[in-house]
Each structure stands twice: as C-alpha cells, then as structure tokens.
A and B are shown apart, each in its own frame.
Chain A
Amino acid sequence: MNPPSSHAVTGAILYLDGVSVSFDGFRALNSLSFTLEPGEMRAVIGPNGAGKTTMMDVITGKTRPDDGDVLFRQGTIDLTRHDEAAIAELGIGRKFQKPTVFESHSVADNVLLALKGPRDPLSALFGARNRIPAARIDAVLERVRLQEHRRRLAGELSHGQKQWLEIAMLLAQDPSLLLVDEPVAGMTDAETEATAELLKDINRDHSVIVVEHDMGFVRALGCRVMCLHEGAVLAEGSIDAVASNPRVIEVYLGR
C-alpha cells in the first residue's frame, strides 16, 4: 500500500509507466505509459492486437506486468500487488468486451450481487447483502432503463440490454474508475446514441476509460482519445487531432 518511493506523487487517478507484458515472446504491451486525471473520460482506439484488452487485464489484476508501474489513486496504490477481487474492492470496475452477465439470475439479482457493500461469505449467507432494499436496485436499473425487466432472467435479454445490464452492474459497484470494453458492439444506432449519453452521465462522478472501435460513438463521447499500436501509445489528443494523425490513419483508420 505504500507509494513506491522512486515516484513523485502523481495527481492522476491512474498512472501507468513503462508497462510491458509478453506472452510467449509476443509483446502485448511495450512500455506503455499514460495517465488519467480524476474525473476524466478517455477513449482508447487501436487495431486488433494493439494491447487494449491486455491493458485492461493489467489494470484489473488479471495479468501481472513483466515490468513497469501501475498506480491508482494519486500513486498511493500499487495495483500490481493486488488480485482481481481486491482491485474491484479498491474501486475499479470493468465491463467486458463480450457482455458477461449472470444469465441464470434475474436482472435485479445481477445488480444485487454487484451493489457496493461487504462481499465476504458470511454477509452473503446471513448478513447485509440479504437485506438490500429493492429501491436501491431499482434506482440503478432506472439509470439504464431496465426497470421493467427487473424480474426477467438476464439470459433472456437482448444483446444491447445485456450490455446495459453490465453497465448497471458497474454503476452498482460504484467504482471510482470504470473500464468499459466495447460497450456498443452489436448495438443499434439508437442504442449506441443512448449509451454515449449514459456514459457521459456516468462520467460526471466517475473516471472512465472506454475502448471502442466505433468512431462515431467515440466522437459522441467528446473526450480525449488515445490510439494504441503494438502495445504503446501512438497518438493522444482530441478526436480530430488523433483522427488526422497520419500514423493513426496508416495503422488503424485506413486511407
């Protein structure tokens, strides 16, 4: 928990410096460095294999980096020392690329399991988690407009609704940082638009990193954009600056 002494205290909520990860000789992340300020929203784009998902794996404790620093909350927490459950408790929530909700639970139970609060076996067996008022669940479902579906099984939802339910679960966790991987994949235009509004709304009191290929959606988010390529940051800046960067056009957007 002690801040590594070699670093000046950073004001960033998330601070990555020189992070490298190799799988069987393939460098998924190649000395990746960037920072995210508290309350900021950042869109991450880049071709397949650029390291977007690996970056999320490193931040959420699924993958341990071979090298580099991953610091959270103004540099006070070294994320490489914690596992997935601990990092979730520290306040980092993640939405997966493929929507993963608990399909055999009702929509309401999905949110119930995600809601912030004690998560030890005892409190699940007899304790606080059995006495969560329905209003708390409904309040979350209302934000993603799933309240009429609360009794349905999550497995019965449409693809877009599952994506929203997963975002609702993130909201229920109330993390200070949200990592959102391809939230609008498979969504209709109307759904995509609604999701952009939802994320902007969430960004009012949370820091957010969004990985997405849909450039229209990224533009709608209206935030800073970062393009990854071969495990490092290729370009960073406003959407227009990044989209007109010749290297980005070459490796990702195409001519």
Chain B
Amino acid sequence: MITLRFVRFLEGRGLVFLALVAALVLLVPVCNLLVPPGSPFHVPTGMVVLLGKYLCYAMLAIGLDLVWGYCGILSLGHGAFFALGGYAMGMYLMRQIGTRGVYGHPVLPDFMVFLNWKELPWFWHGFDMFPYALLMVLLVPGLLAFVFGWLAFRSRVTGVYLSIISQALTYALLLAFFRNDMGFGGNNGLTDFKDILGFPVQAQGTRVALFVITGLALIGTFLLARMIVTSTYGKVLVAIRDAESRTRFIGYRVEYFKLVVFTLSAMIAGLAGALYVPQIGIINPSEFQPTNSIEAIVWVAVGGRGTLVGAALGAVVVNALKTVFTTGFLAPYWLFALGGLFILVTIALPRGLVGLAGDIFARFGGAGRGPTRAEAGQTP
C-alpha cells in the first residue's frame, strides 16, 4: 500500500530519476574504490569530484525551479545563496586548518595573519564547530532570502523588477566579498582546506564519501520539493504564477506563500553550496558573479521548467556540455553555445528536455507523458 502510494507520489519520471541517483550513489564508490584503475569500469577520482559537482548544481536547480518554475519568481540571484552556503562551509574548513597554515597561527586563518589582524572577527566565532557551521549553511542564506523576500514581496515587486534587484543583490555581495576588510579572504577567498570532520579533504575515501552524501542530499531535496509541489501549497504556487491577482482575490496571502518558498529555496541553494566547496576545494567571490545565477536559470529552462526532474537533469546536461566545451579547442565558444542553447530551448522546446522526452515517448505508444501545462506554464 505504502509503496504504491509512494510510486504514485513520484510519478514515472521521478521514479526513474531517483533510481538513477541511487544507482550513482551505489555504483560510483564501487567503481572508484574497488574496481582496479586498469578496468574499463573504473571511475577515476577526478570523475567522482566532477559528478559530485554536477549533483550540487542539480540541487541548486531544484531549489530554483521551486521559485521560478512553480511560482514564477525569476530570481537572477540564486547563486548568492549558493555562495553564502559555500562560504559558511569554507569558514568551517578554514578553522580546521589550525596550525598547519603557512603562518602556523593556531586560530587565525592565513589571510588574517597576512592582513596583520590580531584576533578573530566576531562572525568567525563558532565556525570551528561543525554543527554550528551546518546551521549557518542553512540560516545565513535563509535569513537573507527572508529579509529580501519580505521587502520585495510585501511591496509587490514582481516580474522583471524582481529579477533586476535579485541580480543587484548578488552583484553587491560580489563587490563586498572582494574587499579584504570584509574578513572573508577577499579576492582569493577561502582555500587550502586540510580536513573535514577529521578526514583529509583530498583523500580518495573522503571524496567518495562527499559524493555519496551529495547524492543522498539530492534525493532528500527532490523528495521534499516533490512533497511541496504535490500538496495544495504547490497548487497555490502555480496559481500565483499564472494569475497572481486572482489568487489574492480568492483570499490567499500571496506574499507569505512566496516568502516561504523563496526562503526554503535559498536554504536548498545554501546546502548545495556547502556540499560543493569541500569537493572543489575553494570558495571565492567569483561564485557571486551574476552570470552564475543566470546560468542556473538556463539549466532549469533547458531541462524543463516546472518539472523537478527536468531542472536537475538540465543542471547535469548543461554542465556536462560546459565541461566538454571549456576544455580544449572549443573553449572560446562556450558562452555562444550557452546563449544559443537558451534561445533554442526557448523557441523550439519551451517545455525543455523533459517535455521533449515525454513527446517522443508518447509518440511511440508509451504510457508516459511529458510535463502537463500545469508544470510548464507559459508565463515568463
């Protein structure tokens, strides 16, 4: 009974998606740790890190899809929440370095010694404790999103205006984090991490473990998001996206609904950023670049807006393309390819890859279906 309800809750696409992620979580460690390097089934550690990065992006995409695909809030600043989560994790990792830094200071990270700082700024306190850092990973992006959303949604800032101020938000943070006296390592950011929870971050075993944790976090995020969009709450979000003032005239407090989903989405982005940093080994202000946030929008559009699976799939596909394009002779053309992809999807595939897959499946007599119009509304 329960299994059957679970299957219906996920629908076909969701089931395939979960099975895929679960398979990755199970097989990648085996293929990396147990299969010998000579074997064609061996997955090199570099590939594990790359896949882990894609899964972090997939989490960010699911969070973004909740606000954009379902509620119509085109946030062009979600990279900021991702970066803030990353910085919170980076601060924990910096505190774990201890005396192993270049200057060997027991408390202060290298860049603070370099700047001649004598003591730890107040906001760095507590980051030596993992649970505190984890709390901040969720709380800092969540709080920023809450305050931003409170101001914006209550004043009924919508559409392109909201997009622009969300873009300004991430740009302002970019400039602020570039400054040395902000206390976050300025231009260089935070790097040279040594260990996480006592395990060396560079070690093969730690990298595999981080990948597995990211995979599980992605599954958890997906289930949470799925629960939200299948509840009446999700229906209200779509109602707001398609006819905001109508929703208000029925008696819904649109601003509260937006605020809750926006804050939650920022927390998901923060968690994704926190998982990203130990795998990549660095966090610096460039993560706040507006282009990062815009790229995330492209992932969601390519995969299929308003379908959680599509958003996650889009993140992986576009980033895989980016990896191919930015290594080797194609490197100068990546931004053209990205722009072209966005235009192509907008014009030819408004429901994204998932919509295309659904159409193909339906044509060949399958029982599956693409996203309904409920999932891929036409409003910008």
CB contact between B250 and one of A62, A114, A126 (< 8 Å): that residue: A114
CB–CB A85/B242 < 8 A: no
B243 — which chain A residues lie within 8 A by C-beta? 100-103
CB–CB B246/A119 < 8 A: no
A106 — which chain B residues lie within 8 A by C-beta? 374
Distance between Cα atoms of A129 and B233 in the complex (Å): 9
B236 — which chain A residues lie within 8 A by C-beta? 113, 121, 124
CB–CB B248/A85 < 8 A: yes
Q: Mark B213-247, 1 if CB is under 8 A from A, else 0.
A: 00000000000000010011101101100110111
Distance between Cα atoms of A231 and B344 in the complex (Å): 50
B228 — which chain A residues lie within 8 A by C-beta? 125
List CB contacts (< 8 Å) of B244-262 with chain A.
245-254, 256-257, 260
CB contact between A153 and one of B246, B249, B252, B373 (< 8 Å): that residue: B373
CB contact between B233 and one of A84, A109, A112, A121 (< 8 Å): that residue: A121
CB–CB B252/A119 < 8 A: yes
Of B238, B239, B250, chain A has the most CB atoms within 10 Å of the CB of B250
A96 — which chain B residues lie within 8 A by C-beta? 246, 249
CB–CB A124/B232 < 8 A: yes
B377 interface contact, C-beta 8 A: yes
B375 — which chain A residues lie within 8 A by C-beta? 104
CB–CB B254/A85 < 8 A: yes
Quick one: given A96-B246, A102-B242, A103-B242, are A120 and B253 in contact (CB under 8 Å)?
yes
B253 — which chain A residues lie within 8 A by C-beta? 85, 119-120
Q: How many residues of A contact B (CB 8 A)?
A: 33
Distance between Cα atoms of A43 and B79 in the complex (Å): 53
CB–CB A130/B372 < 8 A: no
A155 interface contact, C-beta 8 A: yes
CB–CB A113/B250 < 8 A: yes
A212 to chain B, nearest CB (A): 19
Binding site for B on A (CB under 8 A): 60, 62, 83-85, 88-89, 93-94, 96, 100-106, 109, 112-114, 119-121, 124-126, 129-130, 153, 155, 169, 173
Binding site for A on B (CB under 8 A): 228, 231-233, 235-236, 238-239, 242-243, 245-254, 256-257, 260, 372-375, 377
What are 15 pairs between A and B in contact, CB < 8 Å? A83-B248, A85-B251, A85-B254, A88-B249, A88-B250, A89-B251, A102-B239, A102-B243, A105-B374, A113-B232, A113-B252, A119-B253, A121-B236, A129-B232, A130-B231
